[in-house]
Amino acid sequence: MTQTEFSKNSGADVAFSYAPGKIIVAGEHAVVYGCPAIALALDRGVRIAVTKARFESEGKGPVLRATGLGFVGEVRPGPSGLGPDVLRRGLQRLVELCGDRIQDLEFIADCAIPVGGGLGSSAALSVALGRGIFRYFGEEINDGSVVEMAMELERVFHGNPSGIDHSSITHGGCIWYHRGEQNVKIESLTSPRILRFAVGVAGPHGGTLQMVSALRERMRRHPDMHRHIFEGISQIVFRMRDALLEGRLAEVGELMNINQGYLNALGVSTPELERLCTIARDEGALGAKLTGAGGGGAVIALVDEGAERIAQAFKQAGYFSFCAQAFDEVKTNYAS
């Protein structure tokens, strides 16, 4: 019996959904300019329960109640709603996309990834909301429509995203992502080795929209130099793809270190992110780099073994940390 059948049959009138967080292993920022990138879905994410709102008199529109690692509280859509502005606008966009039928719904979200850390929390929220709404209304979940809906919400959250976040989250596992002029190419990259990471979080990142816009401005001033950097990052991503497919993790790590050098040159690293990379490398990581937009956020350290030791070293230096690996079971009804 599916979760939806269970919900309807039991009269519980609740649907559950889940979407994982993500990390970008190589190619962030360059991906916005048509270069390829490699990303993977994480084994922690956002769980949503969709149900009919319990307290109708509280306000207009659907309500999002969030708990977990980040914003905790209630959100209602629109300018006169409740909660952080960006979430209010996101919820408003969801009403525009899904129509009045979601006006009296309540979304209870439990987020196991730090919010605003470049680990895909907003994309995971968008994908989980899309899946949960389909499921609540007993409709077939169509990945294409979920990605489209998530992309619309991501536009509210991030302006003009490349699409790598919610594509990797919806797809699961490790992917090759390339947004060309005409189309988007997504391919599974299955490594014979398990990809294990220690993740250290320096705090919220500088905002995807802000970091991407500031880089665009620097690029306008120095177009040739940035083109060279993007070519270098593309080479890294191509080499990493082969190294991953052939299980050469030491090489993947080395390529991550070089990618971090380029990200620093692009102006999206910070002293704290560099410090986290140094801690990880000193503790024996195969490689370490920031992930996502930068200007804060998280560092990922690829390990052969000893992820716990590196996570502990991050913690001792005062940073939130955890161990992670790729998550493939994206299509499960509800991850406990």
Annotated catalytic, 85? no
Q: Contacts with ligand PMV in 293-312 (CB under 6 A)?
A: 293
28 touches ligand PMV (CB under 6 A): yes
Rounded distance between C-alpha atoms, residue 243 and residue 238, angstroms: 9
Nearest residue (CB) to ligand PMV, 29 versus 76: 29
Q: How many residues sit in the footprint of ligand PMV (CB under 6 A)?
A: 17
Residue 118 near residue 205, CB atoms below 8 Å:
yes
292 touches ligand PMV (CB under 6 A): yes
Rounded distance between C-alpha atoms, residue 233 and residue 37, angstroms: 9
Task: Classify 70 in phi/psi space as left (phi over 0), alpha (psi -120 to 50) or beta.
Answer: left
Please choose, out of 22-30, 63-71, 279-287, 302-310, the segment that lies near ligand PMV by the rule CB under 6 A.
22-30
What sections of the chain are H helices per DSSP?
3-10, 85-98, 121-136, 143-158, 164-171, 208-221, 223-245, 249-265, 271-282, 307-316
Rounded distance between C-alpha atoms, residue 230 and residue 162, angstroms: 15
31 touches ligand PMV (CB under 6 A): yes
Q: Which of 61, 83, 118, 172 binds ligand PMV (CB under 6 A)?
A: 118
- For residue 130, give the nearest of 140, 116, 120 by alpha carbon: 140
**One symbol per residue from 238 to 267: x for binding ligand PMV (CB under 6 A), - otherwise; what is it?**
------------------------------
Four-residue CA torsion sign, 186, 114, 137, 11: positive
Q: Minimum distance between the CB of residue 285 and ligand PMV, rounded to whole angstroms? A: 21
283 touches ligand PMV (CB under 6 A): no
237 touches ligand PMV (CB under 6 A): no
Nearest residue (CB) to ligand PMV, 166 versus 248: 166
| SS3 (DSSP) at 74 | strand
208 touches ligand PMV (CB under 6 A): yes
164 touches ligand PMV (CB under 6 A): yes
The residues with which 324 forms a beta bridge, in sequence order, are 197
Q: Which of 21, 61, 77, 161 binds ligand PMV (CB under 6 A)?
A: 161
Residue 171 near residue 188, CB atoms below 8 Å:
yes
Please choose, out of 55-63, 64-72, 160-168, 245-253, the segment that lies near ligand PMV by the rule CB under 6 A.
160-168
Residue with token string 């039991």 = 10
87 touches ligand PMV (CB under 6 A): no
Residue 330 near residue 170, CB atoms below 8 Å:
yes
| SS3 (DSSP) at 212 | helix
Residue tagged active-site, from 13, 104, 110, 165: 165
Please choose, out of 10-18, 28-36, 86-94, 248-256, the segment that lies near ligand PMV by the rule CB under 6 A.
28-36
Nearest residue (CB) to ligand PMV, 178 versus 248: 178
Rounded distance between C-alpha atoms, residue 273 and residue 284, angstroms: 17
Phi, psi of 119 (to 5 degrees): -105, 15
Residue of this chain nearest to ligand PMV (CB atom): 292
Site of interaction with ligand PMV (CB under 6 A): 24, 28-29, 31-32, 118, 120, 158, 161-162, 164-165, 205, 208, 212, 292-293
Active-site amino acid positions: 165
